[in-house]
Structure 1
């Protein structure tokens, strides 16, 4: 459990550091740069997620004696646990980033979406209705719930794949017992 907690925390901190990097590089300050920031976040998030899940499951596997089976189920559960903790810590770091560090990001996201709708020729009435829904969905409590669920689901999907490669059967090559 401790290993899963640590790697879940690492995953959330990696996401926070990525957001801080984008913030200080100016990608979270202009509507025009927000699309690029989202692309960078998506790609880096997948890389961080896969890397930390692999490292976390390997660390958990190393804790299990070679004489015990570390099958697909155990490897999957280790990955899912990492995803659960990453989701919990990710909600906290996201709240910290959007609520304390970069309070203007939500408004910037709304403005970027409105610009996309205008480019598509959406009517002002429909844009107004859609904006209300978007602002409702950006409420911190809803973001926390959806962020937690989304994070756990994505990590679990990745863990399904990672577990297939990191499972380990019990070893039959045991050293001979030492005479007392």
Structure 2
């Protein structure tokens, strides 16, 4: 059996399809103004700008890169057949703060001791690493849930030049005390 090298690779991108039609700043303001008429403790709408409309789903998502690379070597003789393979898979999540990568290795060999007896070894090793901010905390405070519930009336940044995040004045879905889902 002649020796053979096989290389398999692919790369691609994926995007979040945004089917959610969340309220914009003006719509949220009008809803809260109407709700204030029924609240025992109305919220202070003077803190809210009708002109700011942050699309939080757009802010937490990204075009994500996916790649998979595999290489294998195989060969043998009439008595011994072998295969050694390795691979690396990497996937960015469409939600910022999520990703996955995996490294694999495989060794397989068969040895024909007699016509009626064959012995072999098959070893598979895998190591993976997952980072998933969507699932951190409890399910009611995850990144997507927070982005959906967060009001659109404040900007992402207090001062973008300094990289400081702004915080919600009305909601707190984060266990860390901040309700900016990018934090």
Asked if these proteins are the same fold (TM beyond 0.5), I'd say no
Higher strand share: 2
Q: Which has the higher contact order (CA 8 A, sep 6+)?
A: 1
Higher helix share: 1
Q: For the pair shown, which has the larger CA radius of gyration, 1 or 2?
A: 2
State the TM-score, normalized to the length of structure 1. Answer: 0.21
State the TM-score, normalized to the length of structure 2. Answer: 0.21
